[in-house]
Chain A
Amino acid sequence: MREVVILSGKGGTGKTTLTAALAHLAGGKAVLADLDVDAANLHLVLHPRVHDQEDFVSGHVARVETSRCSACGLCAQVCRFGAVRMGEGGTAIVDPRRCEGCKTCVALCPEGAMRFDPRFCGVWMRSHTRFGPMVHARLEPGGENSGRLVSVVKQQARLWAAQLGRELILADGAPGIGCPVIASLSQAHWAVLVTEPSPSGLHDLRRVAAVCARFRVPMAVVLNKWDLAPDTAAAVEAVCAEQGWTFLGRLPHDTAVPWAMAQGMAVTETDGPWAQAVRAMWPLLLQKMDSQGGI
């Protein structure tokens, strides 16, 4: 089984648009996963019918049992996250948004007045789409533990792929290089990095490529909207060549892209230069994965 994660560093370069197109081209043979649990968008194109859904409960949050609180203030003093303060009523108050779930206040309270409740962080779902099975999630707005939720979605996608005998997992990743991205790279076989011809696109491509290298995940670069700035596009390709990164191809700026998004369609379900370029790229991606292996 091969697991491909679509990443970018910078947001808005076209990860979800590309993932949806590749999902279409995979012809129902892949299990799809949306690992951007924080601001998931793949469902807006794939319109999943939810088959089952489970709560994602991860970590804990401290809560004061006010009847036992002696207002000694130790909890507020030891909290490194500014989550506990002494209220005017004379007891401690926890701000659950700031609570890191570290348990220090719970362990040290001399009255045993701190409860430690499991934290509800969101839900994850197994769904059916016109392009095959999909695992996705919804983190509570402002929620914690996005990396752990990414790991759950990945694990469920692998289980489902194994049950169904699918050889490919296509996963839409989060922007950035932090905890959800690192979680999405764990045991991935390939990363496809989508960039755009701009100083920001290139800057963030370098950062996410360095993180892929650090976690030893082979990667290939896709340059989206290249014709918006052909000179910058050439500079991005030159950097790829210089760094020895696999360059998968260029995709043009195409008004069919926002049009398809507005219709809730994958761009390859329409026709136009962008769709044609991705169709040409798809066998190349499969071939690169075959020839260069993976982990």
Chain B
Amino acid sequence: MILAVASGKGGTGKTSVVAALAAVWPAGAVLADVDVEAPNLHLFVHPVPESSEEVGVETPVVRAERCTACGACADLCQFGAIALLGGRAQVFSEMCHSCGGCFRVCPADALARGSRVVGEITTGRAGRHTVVTGRLRLGEAMAPPLMREVLARAIALAAGRDLLVDAPPGVSCPAMTAVEQADAILLVTEPTPFGLHDFQLAHQAFAPLGKPMAVVINRDGLGDAPVGAYCRTHHLPVLARIPYSSELAGIYARGGSLAEDPVVRAAMEAAAGALRA
């Protein structure tokens, strides 16, 4: 099973929930951190790194001697990554979406295949679990290509084991990329106006995918926004409620696992059982 843990609003506790689920998961699993802009899962599960490698995406490189400045590539490119300057095509690699269209429309075979590093993927072990982490290169704008590569590695490594995916916040392309291959989505929210608002957005964004969804309410008691009522109306099962307490906030602040708390541990065991069923 591939389970994506997502939220809409940032900071609701996605990573804490993935770490707590991992602590009680009955079998060895693969944990994939695809929040490549701000990857934090390693700070909670402390994997021992085994390998690390850069990930690149394909971008064109102009062979000046062949370019006839016909402009076909620049006309096609929808992302402003190629312009005609000084009598030949010039590439702005940072803008390139790696669609490959320019190679196909160039009539003079004047584009060679180069690459742009978008980030790195680290694989390691944390006890019974394999942990795959993507880190976006600082200054790189596009997260989805690296996220897809992290997911592809994690799926290959899972080989029959369950895969828990720590997704980025939001509801735009990175969040959609994180959940598109999942069998089920676990939404983590908090009962505050911001939490409820973004939870509704996430539910609306993910519902058309037709995947089963369930909910963990974190910091239960922090506010009184009607998250539970929204879940009942939309038939979203609430698998666990994690209470709001300064003890739990303290555990979190020192990088501990919420599963250290016996009440949360029991709630996560029940949630893990329900998710696996």
CB distance from B14 to the nearest CB of A (A): 9
Partner among B76, B100, B225 whose Cβ is within 8 Å of the Cβ of A262:
B225
Tell me the complex Cα distance, A80–B98, Å. Answer: 8
Residues of B within 8 A of A102 (CB): 78-79, 97, 99, 101
* Set of chain A residues within 8 Å of B99, measured between Cβ atoms: 80-81, 100, 102, 104
Select from chain A the residue with minimum beta-carbon distance to B39.
A203
| Partner-contacting stretch, out of A135-143, A163-171, A278-286 | A135-143
Point out the residues of chain A lying under 8 angstroms from B155, CB to CB: none
Write the chain A residue with the least CB distance to B174: A178
Q: How many residues of A contact B (CB 8 A)?
A: 61
CB-contacts of A8-49 with B (<8 A): 9-13, 16, 38-39, 41, 44
CA distance A103 to B97 in the complex (A): 12
14 extra A-B contacts, CB within 8 A, seeds A102-B79, A261-B193: A10-B10, A10-B40, A13-B11, A44-B194, A100-B97, A102-B99, A103-B78, A103-B101, A142-B206, A147-B141, A175-B38, A178-B142, A204-B40, A211-B139
What is the size category of the interface that chain B forms with chain A?
A: 35 or more
Q: Does any Cβ of A come within 8 Å of B255's Cβ?
A: yes
A238 on the B face (CB < 8 A): no
| A contact residues around B252 at 8 Å (CB) | 198
Closest to A149 in B: B172
Please judge, given known A-B contacts A11-B10, A44-B197, A100-B99, whether A146 and B40 are in contact too, CB under 8 Å.
no
**Interface secondary structure of B, over-half rule:** loop
Interface residues in B75-118 (C-beta closer than 8 Å to A)? 76, 78-79, 97-101, 104-105
Is A39 touching B169 in the complex (CB atoms < 8 A)?
yes
Q: Which residues of B contact A204 (CB under 8 A)?
A: 38, 40
A-B contact pairs, 13 of them (CB 8 A): A44-B193, A108-B104, A108-B105, A146-B172, A176-B38, A176-B143, A176-B168, A177-B136, A178-B37, A207-B138, A214-B138, A261-B192, A262-B193
Are the CB atoms of A144 and B173 closer together than 8 Å? Answer: yes
> B172 to chain A: which residues have CB within 8 Å?
38, 139, 142-144, 146, 180
Shortest distance between the CB of B15 and any CB in chain A (Å): 7
Asked if B194 and A261 sit within 8 Å, CB to CB, the answer is yes
Question: Is A115 on the interface with B (CB-CB < 8 A)?
Answer: no
Q: Is A159 among interface residues, defined by CB-CB distance under 8 A?
A: no
B140 lies within 8 A of chain A by Cβ: yes
Does B205 sit within 8 A of A, measured CB to CB?
yes
A277 at the interface (CB under 8 A from B): no
Instruction: Tell me if A262 and B174 are in contact (CB < 8 A).
Output: no
Report which residue of A39, A44, A100, A261 has the largest number of chain B beta carbons within 10 angstroms of its beta carbon. Answer: A39
B176 close to chain A: CB less than 8 A: yes
Q: Write out the residue numbers on chain B whose beta carbons fall within 8 Å of the beta carbon of A142.
A: 171-172, 175-176, 205-206, 208
Q: Do the beta carbons of A182 and B104 come within 8 Å of each other?
A: no
A174 part of interface (Cβ distance < 8 Å): yes
Q: Does B249 contact A (CB under 8 A)?
A: yes
User: What 1/0 mask marks residues of chain B from 177 to 191 whose CB sits below 8 Å from any chain A CB?
Assistant: 000100000000000
**Alpha-carbon separation in the docked complex, A83 to B225 (Å):** 38
Instruction: Using A11-B10, A178-B37, A178-B143 as known contacts, say yes or no to A60 and B78 having CB atoms under 8 A apart.
Output: yes
**Residue A107 at the B interface, CB < 8 A?**
yes
State the Cβ distance, B9 to closest chain A Cβ, in Å: 6
Q: Is B28 an interface residue (CB 8 A)?
A: no
B76–A104 CB distance below 8 A: yes
* Chain A interface (Cβ < 8 Å from any Cβ of B): 9-13, 16, 38-39, 41, 44, 59-60, 78, 80-81, 97-98, 100-104, 107-108, 139, 141-144, 146-147, 174-182, 196-200, 203-204, 207, 210-211, 214-215, 228-229, 231-232, 253, 258, 261-262, 264
Residue in B138, B193, B194, B223 whose CB lies within 8 Å of A177? B138
**In this complex, what residue of B is CB-closest to A231?**
B254
Best-surrounded residue of B8, B37, B139 (most CB of chain A within 10 A): B37
- Per-residue A-contact encoding for B223-267, CB less than 8 Å = 1, 0 else: 111000000000000000000001001101111000000000000
CB–CB A199/B255 < 8 A: yes
Tell me if A262 and B101 are in contact (CB < 8 A): no
CB-defined contacts of A175 to chain B, threshold 8 Å: 10-11, 37-38, 169-170
Q: In the complex, which residues of chain B have a beta carbon less than 8 angstroms from the beta carbon of A107? A: 76, 101, 104-105
The 4 closest A-B pairs by CB, nearest first: A11-B10, A12-B11, A229-B253, A104-B101
A196 to B40, CA, bound (A): 14
- Cα distance A196–B202 in the bound complex, in angstroms: 25
**In the assembled complex, B59 has its CB within 8 A of some CB on chain A:** no
Chain A proximity of B115: nearest CB distance (Å): 14
Docked Cα-Cα span, A178 to B139, in Å, equals 7
CB closest chain-A residue, reference B139: A214
B64: interface (CB < 8 Å): no
Q: From A233, which residue of chain B is reached at the shortest CB distance?
A: B253
Q: Which of chain B's residues have a CB closer than 8 A to the CB of A39?
A: 8-10, 169-171, 197-198, 201
